[in-house]
Amino acid sequence: MDTHYVYILLQNKIFWAINILEFLILLLPKFVLCDKCYSNGNTGICIEKSKCNNSTTDNVKCPGNNNFECCVLETTANKNNIIRNTRHRVINYLNVKKNKRYCKKCLNLKGKKGLDCYNRCPAFKILSSLNILSSEETVDDIINNKKSISRFGDGEFDLIFGKGINFQKFDKNMSKRLTDILQSIKEGLIIAIPITLKTVKTNNNFWKNFISKYQYKLINLFNFNKVYGNVGISRFYNFNSNGNFVLNYINKLKLIWDKKDVVIIEGEKSRFGFNNDLLNNTKTIQRILCPVKNAYNVYEKIYNEALKINKDKLILIALGPTATILAYDLHNVGYQAIDIGHADISYEWFLRNATYKIKIDNKYVNEACGGGTNIEDITDKSYYDQILVKILNE
């Protein structure tokens, strides 16, 4: 058979196949994917009025289009493959187009959950039952019972869930260690998590989005019979905080190291307590300097240097997620170790009455614009005299 003739025949077959398919589609009900309907507690699938019947709609007008009515998924999903398949497209459509505005769990509940997730979502209700102390109660527990503390903020949870952060790349071993520590129960050790996990309604957008992203993973991590400390012990200045409250809190926080010999394990450019009076009530100060970024890469070196410290001394650690692990490990061998986080930077912002996260001269501030670059050297001899050892990435 002539090749040209075969080609023409195939073209004709394809032409007629497409036309037949288009004709069959016209016989089917017309569907639209409507997030307005979904937000009202319906399925998110609307069907053209002229093609609908009582078995496919509940006669609810689509708020997005008067010519459509909302489908009753419960009565049609198992009877009509078209609607079932459309439902799967709704899930994908809403997740992608609305940037995961609706959690998959709510979508899978087949329209029973509306847009008001913060009041109705079962995940938020479960998280709100977490037992988390206030910042003041956490500090009191440290002072009165000489406890250590390991803190878990958004960065630590990102690492647990497989995502690196801007000053610590993802490490599988680190992720596992953080998970194990979070789920551990050790006498004398406080595991601290964000109180924002249980206050979804009043959270800022960052924490609302964070919780929406990880809510079911978070639920699987926590022990809801356990009392957690508050990770916010180092985040006492919120740019609109009451000045007297912050000052009283700082005075309480300083009691942790009052009249004590202190060793600070920190990033090389953190300079915790330098050039302010946050540590002016300590007895002595010594420092172990560590890499500004990816400190966990040299964790064994940091840990081995820390083991040389006298156990009568208090250890303050400002080293990102590495501090969470180090505080745990040092506590296990008899030290009181405090994962102190951003307390020094919070104090600097308080002293300056900052209205947003600003750069601090001579200090590494990873959360401020430009705060991690062009950090000036210091010439204060007393600061350099405090340094026991400097550990750098290989």
Q: How far is CA 24 from CA 9, 19, 21, in A?
A: 23, 9, 5
Q: Of 56 and 215, which is predicted with more confidence?
A: 215
Asked if residue 82 lies in contact with residue 92, where contact means CB atoms within 8 angstroms, the answer is no
The mean predicted confidence, pLDDT, of the chain is: 79
- In the numeric block, the tokens 């878990």 are attached to 152
Least confident residue range of 120-124, 177-181, 216-220: 120-124
**pLDDT tens per residue across span 36-57:** 454 444 444 455 555 444 433 4
Query: What are residue 131's DSSP bridge partners?
Result: 227
**pLDDT tens per residue across span 7-16:** 444 445 555 5
Give the integer Cα–Cα distance in Å for 213 and 200: 13
Residue 168 has pLDDT above 80, yes or no: yes
Q: Of 276 and 199, which is predicted with more confidence?
A: 276
Give the integer Cα–Cα distance in Å for 45 and 62: 9
In the prediction, which pLDDT does 38 show?
45
In one-letter notation, the amino acid at residue 76 is T
In the prediction, which pLDDT does 133 show?
97
Residue 196 has pLDDT above 80, yes or no: yes
- In the numeric block, the tokens 């929406």 are attached to 212
Task: Tell whether pTM > 0.85.
Answer: no
In the prediction, which pLDDT does 77 show?
36
Q: Which residues contact 317 (CB under 8 A, 6 or more apart)?
A: 264, 265, 266, 323, 326, 327, 337, 338, 339, 340
Which of 6-20, 173-187, 194-208, 357-371 tops mean pLDDT? 173-187
Query: What are residue 31's DSSP bridge partners?
Result: 47
In the prediction, which pLDDT does 80 show?
42
The number of CA neighbours under 13 Å toward the Cβ of 30 is 8
Asked if residue 361 lies in contact with residue 377, where contact means CB atoms within 8 angstroms, the answer is no
First to last CA, the chain: 72
In the prediction, which pLDDT does 367 show?
85
Asked if residue 73 lies in contact with residue 144, where contact means CB atoms within 8 angstroms, the answer is no
Give the integer Cα–Cα distance in Å for 294 and 297: 6
State the average pLDDT over residues 329-357: 96
Asked if residue 165 lies in contact with residue 210, where contact means CB atoms within 8 angstroms, the answer is no
Q: State percent of the chain over pLDDT 70.
A: 68
**Residue among 297, 298, 334, 290 nearest 315 (CA):** 334
In the prediction, which pLDDT does 338 show?
98
Give the integer Cα–Cα distance in Å for 37 and 43: 7
Count of C-beta atoms within a 10 Å radius of residue 221: 16
Q: Please give the sequence-ordered ranges of beta strands (E in DSSP) within 283-369, or none if there are none.
A: 284-290, 314-318, 336-339
Give the integer Cα–Cα distance in Å for 53 and 58: 9
Residue 376 has pLDDT above 90, yes or no: no
Asked if residue 268 lies in contact with residue 261, where contact means CB atoms within 8 angstroms, the answer is no
Residue 187 has pLDDT above 50, yes or no: yes
Residue 94: pLDDT band (50, 70, 90) is very low
In the prediction, which pLDDT does 370 show?
83
**Residue among 153, 175, 155, 154 nearest 166 (CA):** 155
Residue 95 has pLDDT above 90, yes or no: no
Q: Which residues contact 345 (CB under 8 A, 6 or more apart)?
A: 360, 363, 365, 367
Q: How many helices (H) and strands (E) does the chain have?
A: 16, 13
**Residue among 94, 98, 74 nearest 32 (CA):** 94
In the prediction, which pLDDT does 73 show?
38
Asked if residue 111 lies in contact with residue 73, where contact means CB atoms within 8 angstroms, the answer is yes
**pLDDT tens per residue across span 240-265:** 777 889 999 999 999 999 999 999 99
